[in-house]
Structure 1
Amino acid sequence: MEYVPRERVRLLTGVLSVVSLAVVFAAAGGRIPSSSVPAAPEWFLEAIPLVNAVLSAIAIGTITVGWRAIRRGEVDRHRVAMVSSFGLFVSFLALYLYRLTVTGGPQDFPGPAAIEQFVYLPILAIHILLAIVCIPLLYYALLLAFAYPVAELPKTSHARIGRIAATLWLISFSLGIVVFVLLHVVY
């Protein structure tokens, strides 16, 4: 059953990617006024980094389950795992962007300058770069899956793009957990 018109997959991927990245950069740059979102108690804002680390860990699990399922030919399990992974990613991003908007931008690194310069910032940069690259790849793989019946997916680039996206996604989520540990546990 076709959910997305096939001829619109690339266009929709582009539009969704541009809109998503614009929202992310606007929130990270403090361009979204905090008055545009409802206020939350301090305990909620403080819990978001931990919740996001847990969401990331669960997403690592669901991506891995999805990857293994498709290698075994378990298409339905793969679909459930990957859609769940995408839902976890959207939840993570919504909470992250909410916190950025309310607090006015990213959190400063509280540890020593040498650790910030040689450990934290390189890890953060790779995490952010991979997250940015993943967005259009994820949209494209997901939209292909909704545009074609399962029997026709092998004729598309779904599997090739999906492998790249899943690999980068796993690395990005893992590095995000490392960033959390450096910001909220170690320092």
Structure 2
Amino acid sequence: MSKMNNKKMAMTVVAALSIIVPALVAVLIYSPYKISADYDWLRSIPAFNATINSMTAILLIAGAVMVKKGNIQGHKIAMSSALGLGVCFLLAYVLYHATVESVIFGDVNMDGVLDDQEALSVGTMRSVYLTILLSHILLSAAVVPFVLLAFYFAIAQEFDRHKKIVKFTWPIWLYVSVTGVIVYLLASPYYSV
């Protein structure tokens, strides 16, 4: 296959995944239908995904440090590992949202009742939570094609294009990873309610 055909196929795959992945996630989150699977371990997936997001953030930072120090092999390993964790995250996320109802931040406290002070505090925190969550969701969908393109450009040894795209892709990917952990930490008290 010619280099041009390889590039065309790669761009088609990037475009398809950039549409399919966010669409699948949206369908699973907003679908009223869930797959019947009553396994306790499914409820631990949000904590697992927060761990994956933490590890991804660490790998992204390590990858950036390595490339700045000229350690290209270390950079490749860190960034490939981050991408691998992203795939693991996505699979676990899809499994969770296909089987478990989404948690709603701040509906009740542990005893099921909110007094006026708690309601005000929860309302304020809900606004903070929703702001972070919305930015996290929008940017996580938007960054998919750019991450895939960055990897394609690196594999294709188009390093000038790789460098250009990672200037804005890397900070967005890092933001998505960090805010994923923050979203989990803010919502975690409501997982057991």
Q: TM-score range by the shorter chain?
A: 0.7 to 0.9
Q: Which runs of 5+ in 1 are unaligned?
A: none
Counterparts of residues 40-51 of structure 1 (less than 5 Å): 41-42=39-40, 44-51=41-48
Provide the secondary structure at the position in 1 that maps to 2:104: coil
Counterparts of residues 79-158 of structure 1 (less than 5 Å): 79-104=76-101, 106-110=102-106, 112-116=122-126, 118-146=127-155, 148-149=156-157, 153-155=158-160, 157-158=161-162
Shift of 1:31: 6.6
Structure with larger RCO (C-alpha < 8 A, sep 6+): 1
Give identity over the alignment, percent.
25
Deviations 1:62-117 (A, max 9, x none): 1111111111222211111111001111111211111111014x21113623321x
Letter in 2 for 1:127: H
CA contact (8 A) 1:30 1:100 kept: no
Provide the secondary structure at the position in 2 that maps to 1:5: helix
Shift of 1:32: 6.5
| Bigger Rg, which one | 2
Q: Which runs of 5+ in 2 are unaligned?
A: 108-121
CA contact (8 A) 2:153 2:159 kept: no
Q: Which residue does 2:174 correspond to in 1? A: 170
Q: Which residue does 2:35 correspond to in 1? A: 34
Structure 1 runs (4+) deviating above 3 angstroms are: none
Counterparts of residues 52-63 of structure 1 (less than 5 Å): 52-63=49-60
Question: d(CA) in 1 for partners of 2:16 and 2:85?
Answer: 21
Provide the aligned C-alpha RMSD in A.
Answer: 2.2
CA contact (8 A) 2:106 2:190 kept: no
Give the structure-1-normalised TM-score.
0.84
Shift of 1:133: 1.1
Deviations 1:101-154 (A, max 9, x none): 1014x21113623321x21110101111110111111111112222x23xxx23
Shift of 1:9: 3.2
Q: What is the number of residues matched between the two proteins? A: 174
Give the structure-2-normalised TM-score.
0.81
